[in-house]
Structure 1
């Protein structure tokens, strides 16, 4: 058994890395501010977040497959620096009102950094805790879900207030904070000695037949739809809530922004908690059954939101959807491992994460298009699209085979 104190220290460092990376989930805090300040459309602004999540999904896929080759500490350090530089480049983009530079900085550079750094904490914690897999990996991924709370209730408000609502200076300050702390935490993410040796000698297995199998394609699609549903809110929950509050007569901008930030923080708690709740439930209910249940719950929520303009009901709906969004990320690793075995786990899970990238483009862009073209009905129309996709996802769960292969 590994040194208990050392492995728990590494688990804490892994959680802190995910906590800082998860700040990307607070994008909706900035969406409205950036749109109004620089006069870009909702769709133009939302592409910043979409590109970041797309690059996150694709790079995390590559990182998961190549982690044994390049080493955990190296990927984590490079990713941490790149994510920090994404904010610093964004300072120059916003200062010069350059949307392409914002796409490059926050979207491409920051997104690649997210992907490289994302895969390491879970992999490292899993190897250090063979006896407490669920507890420790759940703790680490919950850190990512809670990142939005850190950004929306601490970093962004503090710096915006200090710099008198200057978005460029706020992004620069956040980037500097990231550059100081993220590499510090990431530097401790190393595998146990025996794992370093084992990874080098792992047998190579051809995964292509499984990747292009009907079963995996169905898993990928239903995961994509679950991501899209969550991204609709992660990218726009604050603006959508503010629209409802304005329709109800609230006009004070500071109050609107405060309520939006509070919802981001609260939903972040549910996002993180969902990875525990649904992941644990899947041990008893089965992976596909659990995925089907969480999609059914989401469908009921979106159906209800279509018929209400109540801000409180909307907020509750957001929290439930993000609870299930986090749950999808909690169930997918176990589903993939059971379906394709330990030898194919890294490759198949890496490919599954490309669904995150695709969903990260489609979810925000669906809502951005609705806000640019349908005004007050943007939310309702977005919920209708989400409901259709989730219903298709539910149908697909009945065609996925989950025959356990643990070798």
Structure 2
């Protein structure tokens, strides 16, 4: 059991009131949520993804079909959240964070390959596998943070939720700057056909994979009961 801090306030002598390990646990959870919430960028990524499947993959794919990537990602995450909480109780936070991070990061890397095959494989890797990884780790920072600060569960949850939401804004800018640095517009049919832009679509998944791996690499050692 983690030591419990009875208060989580912001007084002048804050360093005397907040346990260092508790603060580090919440900060680590913030970064973990920040690195895992790729579903919040799918709206930005869908146009590029659909264009790649349609133009380079010669598939009869439209936005009505690629929306299933996000739908199944969200559904899978919701179904796996309970399993993640159960594994946390049985195995502790570090193992669950490691497992979820490996699954989510690996799924993103695999999408750089699956996007060259078919929409179904993209759904399986970027949708379902990512959902499994995020579902496993989502509740761990909440459980650990609330254990350290039992009287400030709302504030802890708000900090962690901020990490989840902030990543959508940050990674959307990164994705767009990488894939479409010249601000190329879609054609009249609503899809991108610029060759250089489409070449960068599979590579963006490797970029996201590296970002996830770097942000989560040091977190496992800090996740303690």
CA 1:26–1:52: 2 relative to 1, 3 Å: same
Count of residues in Structure 1 that have an aligned counterpart in Structure 2: 189
1:105 maps to 2:125: yes
Any conservation in 2 of the 1:17–1:186 contact (CA below 8 Å)?
A: no
1:117 maps to 2:137: yes
Q: Which residue of 2 aligns with 1:126?
A: 146
1:88 maps to 2:109: yes
Any conservation in 2 of the 1:89–1:101 contact (CA below 8 Å)?
A: no
Any conservation in 2 of the 1:19–1:143 contact (CA below 8 Å)?
A: yes
Q: Which residue of 2 aligns with 1:182?
A: 216
Shift of 1:186: 4.0
Q: Larger helix proportion, structure 1 or 2?
A: 1
Distance in 1 separating the partners of 2:22 and 2:112? 37
Q: Any stretches of 5+ residues in structure 1 without a counterpart?
A: 192-407
Shift of 1:45: 0.9
Shift of 1:23: 2.8
Q: Which residue of 2 aligns with 1:304?
A: none
Q: Which residue of 2 aligns with 1:48?
A: 69
CA 1:187–1:106: 2 relative to 1, 3 Å: farther
Q: Which residue of 2 aligns with 1:173?
A: 207
Bigger radius of gyration, 1 or 2? 1
- Structure 1-normalised TM-score? 0.44
- Structure 2-normalised TM-score? 0.77
Query: What does 1:4-403 align with in structure 2 at a 5 Å threshold?
Result: 4-39=19-54, 40-94=61-115, 96-153=116-173, 155-161=174-180, 164-165=196-197, 166-191=200-225
Distance in 2 separating the partners of 1:86 and 1:64? 21
Per-residue deviation, residues 254-308 of structure 1 (Å, max 9, x unmatched): xxxxxxxxxxxxxxxxxxxxxxxxxxxxxxxxxxxxxxxxxxxxxxxxxxxxxxx
Any conservation in 2 of the 1:26–1:152 contact (CA below 8 Å)?
A: yes
Q: CA RMSD in A?
A: 2.0
Distance in 2 separating the partners of 1:50 and 1:158? 25
Distance in 1 separating the partners of 2:180 and 2:222? 33
Per-residue deviation, residues 144-180 of structure 1 (Å, max 9, x unmatched): 1222112112x31233257953110111111122122
Any conservation in 2 of the 1:23–1:150 contact (CA below 8 Å)?
A: no
Distance in 2 separating the partners of 1:175 and 1:164? 21
Any conservation in 2 of the 1:79–1:112 contact (CA below 8 Å)?
A: yes
Shift of 1:132: 2.0
Per-residue deviation, residues 208-242 of structure 1 (Å, max 9, x unmatched): xxxxxxxxxxxxxxxxxxxxxxxxxxxxxxxxxxx
Q: Any stretches of 5+ residues in structure 2 without a counterpart?
A: 6-17, 55-60, 182-194
